[in-house]
Amino acid sequence: MKIIDFDKIESKERYKLMSQNIIPRPIAWIVTENEDKVNIAPFSYFTGVSSVPPLLMVSIGRKKPTIDEPKDTFRNIKETKKATVCLVEPDMMEIVDKTGEILPFNESEAKRFNIELERIDENFPPIVKGVKRAFFTELYGTFERDEMKTIPFFLEIKKMYLNGEFNPLARVGKGYTTLCKEI
């Protein structure tokens, strides 16, 4: 038996323990728009937290290596108050990994990696073409404290996109898995 005191280990070790043991973690692309640029970023640190109101929570950090500058998704949601959360399937895994690359604020992952987008609702950022599930969300609030390296964003689901059968991709430990077939 082993008890690990999180106050006595480095943040990198805490992250590893959490991300490899809080499983499964669904993978999503969060699509935001700001200054006429579309940002597409992969996240596995997100989950549903409430049905009344319908809320998702995503934990968003800062750009590496400096961590002083917020990630584009962080900045865009704070400024525009909107995001589209696209759930990812296994055949998208390779391109999802590529979109995790840190790009300058004025460069779009959609253009860099030739990702097709589809405008489903004029009031929200587009979806990634081919996704089977997406949530159109508005910022409900954040929980920010000075010592936090990642900030929980609470996003209220306003609409949901559904298209056909869905086989979600998830993180389990260091690898990927599928969760289930829709029944």
Average pLDDT of each block of 10 consecutive residues along the chain (183 residues)?
80 76 78 91 85 90 63 91 93 87 84 94 95 93 84 93 82 64 43
3-state helix, strand, coil in the chain (%, to 5): 20, 40, 40
pLDDT of residue 113: 94
pLDDT of residue 66: 54
pTM metric for this prediction = 0.83
In the sheet that 37-43 helps form, which strands lie side by side, from edge to edge?
37-43, 28-34, 82-87, 133-142, 151-162, 54-60, 46-51
pLDDT of residue 22: 64
Which domains, ranges and CATH numbers included, belong to the chain? 27-165 (2.30.110.10)
pLDDT of residue 36: 84
CA distances from 38 to 30, 58, 82, 120 (A): 10, 18, 12, 15
State the Cα–Cα distance between residues 65 and 140, nearest whole angstrom. Answer: 29
